[in-house]
Structure 1
């Protein structure tokens, strides 16, 4: 400990500042002296944090400095740096310059002193030195030469298609939760049933829906209602849902991609239990993890370093990340899940980083706010890969339709409301059904307006079968109107009302006839709509004043916009909030002040002599650790349970987190003392 303190004292201020930046756990609280800094740097916790930054080659070099074959044979104590580097390079089968660089890195991190292990390094590395030297392939990681190279056109096509689909799915989620929000569980998050309901509406598996929901929330598109009882689209999401004023596709994608890159959420763990037994729910606190953001960062960085077009497999990524940080374990399944998320968002295509994904890796790393210029780069990168949209719709007499390419935005929005997608790819294949046409009618279009809008994109007249389908759906549309106030159903036809009351499939709605033509339901308005439609009916939504609700907005019969049925959209709410924000890096001036105080404190220690009394916790720990290393006697003053201060002469057995084990040499007993009970500690002179 004394050697490490002496070395730190001899370093220039700039190198001490660099050490603090490289080992940020030493920044707070600020150490009062270099002796205290040395004690903290040599502690097991801080040493483990420093080792977690090192790659496999640096760990192997460090292990080579502490194992007996080198520590006793003499090269550490007698050989120069060049000789030591050559010996380690030969034993590890690494290039000499690589070993020399890792030795320098260990010194800069205060893990070694003149190529000898600093206090704490041997203790931290001892379990891993049994198999030294490790296999050469474990030190360098897998070679990217083994990866498949994908054609740039294939990457661009697949990534652009996935990016467009991701934006569409988020928009569909917002529409679904505007109609029927995701209720909040008492334990937090959204439950299994709403997730399954949303999965059915979006045509996805619940696990995929969880990812879409979490990405939307991370992008600030979801918020809690005024009662904090349900998640629904936030104010920024209303722009996404506007049919004419929605931002361009690249702009919306950039918002999702940057939100994903900086997210600490783990949607692939939804449905599992945490270590303390808490069930992880989508948008719940338990689905957040401090390592998720960092792992996304590391994967993005790794993909960006691969050759253009290299398709990385989960096994390759795990092996490469393990070689880069062997003492930073990666949870099982996390790499596969994050790569799948990147594919879903179009950050990768066919496993290779896309043009937009590379821009994301370079300009929007996790933890850094994406400035407008960086967002512009992402948008331009995606726009460059998007195929030119086509304003053409080919409708067949069997009610199928084809868009020979990527539809223009107005056509895409129209088809999203009026048709069911059967396949996506180079062309878009769709089918018109009674349910899909009803979606356009629900959005406020009349039969004539819908046919005119579709006909504007068709090079030939629309087939009669489609016209008949639309007109028939329009005749049936609105025969039943559902109000969200206590789920009241207004049904002018007595026969239809009687049929609903006796329909066994609707028993779960709690239907009851309040008056002729008026039926109440205990279920929510959204559930009533969904189950009536499943029974083959075509109800529509009303607000409390009897006005039609169009995509969540109430429209008066004349078409003028009214107020939203649920009040103003909430502000965005980020789920979790359990992960502390990253510590702000100190400025050069703040670092200079810290180093200056430590240098002044060290000078005061030197002037006071070896018997200076350490009363602050950091300095006390430094004296305790130094006493443990020297096996010297210490005078310890402790606060007893009754508040009385006791004085003991002790030797330190072990310094552990939050406590210290001591041997009382006078009473010949061993005691364990909490750090906060120590009033002061000082070395006892041997004179």
Structure 2
């Protein structure tokens, strides 16, 4: 495209008003309207009464912003190029943007399907969302400059360079051209300031005055008297500055006819490294097995001692540190593990709601095989809206975010996990994605949906911890999960949800994940090579029984292609604590060892068994003080209270392992009159009756009450909504004059449209005294929550809150 051709059209395409958009929507077939409502779900809820009301919402900036958030870089650039060039020809747009013609045509069709571009032009919300300078281009000059500057090729390669412009321009003028070429095309100089560079550009028509005051999007150029952007010297009063604009023709000439500085194509996946399939399977399965082991250890640790809940919710730092030490993990990895286990429904709150403990589903999960246990953890991960990497950071109110707390919840986290999984699945098998590449690809796919800092790296680390990736490449099981996530993102607009389909899909996903992991798991090994230095090696992946034995009786020193463990006094004591006797432990080790056990190990086991149990600890829930020894003896031998398992430790001191509330009920049922007392011996006449936890609680998922997932309407619901839209539009058309806009969205759309066209409106406004006033006005400005108006009849200005506007209609 030549440098001068783009400058011949208007700088802006006239925006379509509400009536034109309503006529366009009403002319669409029902199937197209249903597709539009499915693609832009904010238009379907709450439902509109007519196509006019729907057009007011569809053309408003908030709804347009939501639609733009789902567009990729090429589609957004095409939308801005249409506004900048006034052209909707795919070849011209493709040349100006440096993309393929079919990509430009596809983007135009996408914008039309979303009702952002119609035959009458772009909707007003698109114009507002893009801003006054699409792609950094200013308005056309009138008249256009007689000569245009040469392109600045160095600026295209190096945005930070200062090119040497051909001709007799001063360095100051060259710097201004370089600063304003790619936009924003606006700068300011002090009123009355002298600058040779500004005078040169004004004389050539390469800068034009745009009035006095600080314009939007000011930019800066070096040099004395040059256009200054936001900075210390830009904070002067508006009256002390003069605003200058670079015409659109000049910007296009400096850019060499291109509209964008950076290419719009996504990053090339060919630059990513390839991972050997064997290494990928080995690393991913090793991570999956380690996750299962850590999850089981977490359940065992919290089964022994639950994690108390803070008053503000969540688990405190002390409990997190205790758990991290028990699992030999960093606190950050421990927080991630806790959130994964809770998301899989394996944790719950005890009866009092004061501590997190294993749930009722934890027992069956622990007894299952490795593939089954891993599949449950992996399947729950994409649907989680938790952000465990934020644990320990401070929230907006300055409080630390605790693990399992409500503050570690974000609606975008669920979407980000789905997007990352789908993106990795689109790569060639074995391609190892890096966080930098993933961030660039996500940015190209959704430029207006920014990803919070550090989130991509954290999500990729979670995928690696789960075994969904190995060395950055998606594993076999990871691809199964990615296919399920991709299918969950596609909504069927032809029918509503099928009863029971979601449960069937979840069960099928679990089976597929189990099969995928099992296919990559190496064959188990039941050989234990025990050495005289009390170390032992498993030359491969240990079988279930051997892994359980080593988990109880040895400490892991290294994991990899082989497992190395060491037997220590503490590890042998832990095996004895689990109920395994010394002879049983020796026989179990001998069963897996091809040779006899070293003497050092048998001596270690015998010594640990000899000292084991020298001190005994009994857990006591209730202490009974009985002053009369005869009453105490009778109480211990009374068969009516045998279930309390009372033991007399000393004269007048009887203990029970049953909670105090149950002891009170049982004794009272036996005809006694016990009373409760506190640790100081004072009587408590209003006992709380709280019993200790006897059974595992049901699963509790953190943040579940704050879920932001909204069900999308099905095809039948949308078809019914379209029928009501046509009925409402027909009723409105039969009334003749357009009905006044009464809903806030429609009213604001008419106000913005009247501001652009300078047309007159008739408003009904509720005054401070509750009386309704009729005003004939012109709109001066539409601001957040209020509107500035000029009363045409009273010749006054007024500011009205949006909620006080009853109706808006054309005068």
The TM-score range, normalised by the shorter chain, is 0.7 to 0.9
8 Å contact from structure 1 (residues 36, 621) kept in 2: no
Match of 1:191 among 313, 316, 331: 316
- C-alpha distance in 2 between matches for 1:417 and 1:302: 41
The 3-state SS of whatever aligns with 2:713 is coil
1:470: which partner in 2? 605
Seen in structure 2, the aligned counterparts of structure 1 residues 620 and 122 have a Cα distance that, compared at 3 Å, is closer
Seen in structure 2, the aligned counterparts of structure 1 residues 229 and 109 have a Cα distance that, compared at 3 Å, is same
Asked whether 1:86 is paired with 2:91, we answer yes
Seen in structure 2, the aligned counterparts of structure 1 residues 99 and 579 have a Cα distance that, compared at 3 Å, is farther
- C-alpha distance in 1 between matches for 2:693 and 2:124: 63
- Where relative contact order (Cα < 8 A, 6+ residues apart) is larger, the structure is 1
Match of 2:802 among 667, 671, 675: 675
Seen in structure 2, the aligned counterparts of structure 1 residues 566 and 479 have a Cα distance that, compared at 3 Å, is farther
Higher gyration radius (CA): 2
Higher deviation after alignment, 18-27 or 619-628: 619-628
- C-alpha distance in 1 between matches for 2:457 and 2:619: 43
8 Å contact from structure 2 (residues 116, 123) kept in 1: yes
- Unaligned segments of structure 2, at least 5 residues: 1-16, 137-181, 184-257, 490-501, 624-648, 660-690
Q: CA deviation at 1:483?
A: 4.2
- C-alpha distance in 2 between matches for 1:629 and 1:605: 25
- Unaligned segments of structure 1, at least 5 residues: 489-514, 520-541, 547-563
1:351: which partner in 2? 472
Alignment map for 1:68-83 (pairs within 5 Å) = 70-71=85-86, 76=87
Asked whether 1:614 is paired with 2:741, we answer yes
- C-alpha distance in 2 between matches for 1:650 and 1:425: 77
Alignment map for 1:639-654 (pairs within 5 Å) = 639-654=766-781
Higher deviation after alignment, 655-664 or 223-232: 655-664
2:389: which partner in 1? 268
- C-alpha distance in 2 between matches for 1:679 and 1:62: 35
2:685: which partner in 1? none
The 3-state SS of whatever aligns with 1:642 is coil
Seen in structure 2, the aligned counterparts of structure 1 residues 381 and 671 have a Cα distance that, compared at 3 Å, is farther
- C-alpha distance in 2 between matches for 1:251 and 1:655: 58
Alignment map for 1:434-473 (pairs within 5 Å) = 434-473=569-608
1:664: which partner in 2? 791
2:519: which partner in 1? 384
Q: CA deviation at 1:283?
A: 0.4
Alignment map for 1:194-233 (pairs within 5 Å) = 194-233=319-358
Scaled by the length of structure 1, what TM-score is found? 0.83
Q: CA deviation at 1:138?
A: 3.7
Seen in structure 2, the aligned counterparts of structure 1 residues 611 and 22 have a Cα distance that, compared at 3 Å, is closer
- C-alpha distance in 2 between matches for 1:382 and 1:285: 33
Match of 1:106 among 111, 123, 140: 111
8 Å contact from structure 1 (residues 31, 618) kept in 2: no
8 Å contact from structure 1 (residues 614, 681) kept in 2: yes
Higher deviation after alignment, 246-255 or 276-285: 276-285
- C-alpha distance in 2 between matches for 1:632 and 1:605: 22
Match of 1:314 among 431, 435, 438: 435
Alignment map for 1:121-520 (pairs within 5 Å) = 121-126=126-131, 129-130=135-136, 131=182, 133=258, 135=260, 138-241=263-366, 246-364=367-485, 370-485=505-620
Q: CA deviation at 1:486?
A: 6.9
Asked whether 1:25 is paired with 2:152, we answer no
- C-alpha distance in 2 between matches for 1:601 and 1:626: 23
- C-alpha distance in 2 between matches for 1:140 and 1:108: 22
Higher deviation after alignment, 124-133 or 91-100: 124-133
1:269-296: CA deviations, max 9, x gaps?
1111123433211100111111111111
Q: CA deviation at 1:473?
A: 1.6
Seen in structure 2, the aligned counterparts of structure 1 residues 591 and 424 have a Cα distance that, compared at 3 Å, is same
Asked whether 1:65 is paired with 2:178, we answer no
The 3-state SS of whatever aligns with 1:261 is coil
- C-alpha distance in 2 between matches for 1:319 and 1:334: 13
8 Å contact from structure 1 (residues 178, 232) kept in 2: yes
1:3-22: CA deviations, max 9, x gaps?
21221121111111111111
- C-alpha distance in 1 between matches for 2:728 and 2:658: 75
The 3-state SS of whatever aligns with 1:286 is coil
8 Å contact from structure 2 (residues 776, 793) kept in 1: yes
Match of 1:633 among 760, 781, 785: 760
The 3-state SS of whatever aligns with 2:46 is coil
1:500: which partner in 2? none
Equivalenced residues, count: 604
1:470-500: CA deviations, max 9, x gaps?
2222222233334444799xxxxxxxxxxxx
- C-alpha distance in 1 between matches for 2:782 and 2:262: 37
8 Å contact from structure 2 (residues 21, 123) kept in 1: yes
Asked whether 1:588 is paired with 2:715, we answer yes
8 Å contact from structure 1 (residues 289, 579) kept in 2: no
1:119: which partner in 2? 124
1:531-567: CA deviations, max 9, x gaps?
xxxxxxxxxxx99279xxxxxxxxxxxxxxxxx9731
- C-alpha distance in 1 between matches for 2:726 and 2:542: 68
- C-alpha distance in 2 between matches for 1:25 and 1:153: 47
Scaled by the length of structure 2, what TM-score is found? 0.71
Q: CA deviation at 1:137?
A: 5.3
8 Å contact from structure 2 (residues 621, 657) kept in 1: no
Q: CA deviation at 1:605?
A: 2.4
Q: CA deviation at 1:371?
A: 2.0
- C-alpha distance in 2 between matches for 1:136 and 1:9: 40
Q: CA deviation at 1:585?
A: 2.0
